[in-house]
Amino acid sequence: MKNILLKYGLWTVVTILTVGLVGYIVLLNTFDIFATPDKKVLNYKCDYEGLRQAETYRLEGNAVTNSSINVSVHLGCNGRERKDEKRIFTADNGSVDDKDVTIAWLTFDTLTIEYKKGLRIFTQLDKVVYPDSTLNVYVTYKELE
């Protein structure tokens, strides 16, 4: 009797562990819980001399993050994604609209960012510094109703 109980108990434990392992593998392969969000470029504008490019883009959320709107500055103005991106503004509010943030170059070195009231702001830099000081960018912000 004891031997039969031990035998069926062992098979039950092995079956439960096997089903649990298969379920866990299926869950990881089916759902992108921690996947990197896709980047959707909303708008980009070059400064007057084509040395820098300001770009507004949206990062879609995943299972653990909200979607957010970001503004970054790159050197050069050819519309391609570059590695020297300097993120100067990041905001979200749960349901971000593509028109919640707008950018415009006021002067050669001043970028204006207008954003809708109610956004939760995570990053808000006032100046972007480059090794060549003639490329530095000053940022002004305007909150819209």
**What is the total residue count of the chain?**
145
Q: Is the pTM of this model over 0.85?
A: no
Per-domain residue ranges for the chain?
1-31, 39-144
In tens, the pLDDT along 4-60 reads: 777 788 889 999 999 999 988 887 777 766 666 678 888 888 888 888 888 898 887
Question: Which amino acid does the sequence have at 37?
Answer: P
Place of tokens 């070059």: 46
In tens, the pLDDT along 79-110 reads: 665 667 889 999 887 777 778 889 999 988 89
Compute the distance between CA of residue 94 and CA of residue 91 in angstroms, rounded to an integer. Answer: 10
